[in-house]
């Protein structure tokens, strides 16, 4: 990993966990985009795609979208050293790719002193977990294959994922 920092920012001088002090940082517009892939199999994909999967918990995609947004808003409650923040916006988008894949993207944004990549990653992850939860009655052979940061902007260093990496 070429971009590995030489110093972990969440450890103090004694090597103990510590929250990063962002007090002196400038307020900027920060946006992060993350993706999770869920392999569900062709039969489940067909049912979910056409709305033919009856669940007691509601429609699969709409429920996953809401779960992803709710999770992004609660990231600092889940990840110990994340700063609490009021997101300006959070969007979760779901696309299907034949024959068996659901792709979930979460975009989080804030005008603030710290980035929102953890919020975007949490939103995409929890939306994927929600798809699993709602479809597991049909099969446990569902794979949450990948969760990754696609981009982040507005901080001291922007990041854009490239398939070449």
Residues that are catalytic: 133
What are the phi and psi torsion angles at 19 (to 5°)? -75, 140
Q: Report yes or no: 85 and 112 within 8 Å, Cβ to Cβ.
A: yes
Work out whether the CA dihedral 125, 127, 133, 137 comes out positive or negative: negative
Q: Report yes or no: 92 and 26 within 8 Å, Cβ to Cβ.
A: no
Counting Cα atoms < 13 Å in the Cβ hemisphere of 93 gives 7
Q: What is the DSSP letter of 112?
A: E
Q: How far is CA 161 from the centre of its chain?
A: 15
The Cα 113–Cα 163 span in angstroms is 29
Q: Report yes or no: 34 and 127 within 8 Å, Cβ to Cβ.
A: no
């Amino acid at each position: 990993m070429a971009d590995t920092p030489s110093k972990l920012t969440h450890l103090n001088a004694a090597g103990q966990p510590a929250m990063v002090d962002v007090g002196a940082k400038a307020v900027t517009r920060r946006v992060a985009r993350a993706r999770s892939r869920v392999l569900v199999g062709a039969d489940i994909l067909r049912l979910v795609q056409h709305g033919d999967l009856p669940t007691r918990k509601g429609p699969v995609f709409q429920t996953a979208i809401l779960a992803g947004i709710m999770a992004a808003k609660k990231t600092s409650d889940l990840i110990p050293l994340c700063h609490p923040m009021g997101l300006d916006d959070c969007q979760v988008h779901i696309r299907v790719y034949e024959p068996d894949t659901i792709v979930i993207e979460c975009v989080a944004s804030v005008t603030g002193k710290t980035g929102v990549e953890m919020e975007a990653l949490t939103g995409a992850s929890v939306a994927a977990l929600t798809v699993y939860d709602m479809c597991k009655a049909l099969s446990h052979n569902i794979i949450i294959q990948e969760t990754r940061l696609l981009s982040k902007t507005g901080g001291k260093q922007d990041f854009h994922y490239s398939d070449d990496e």
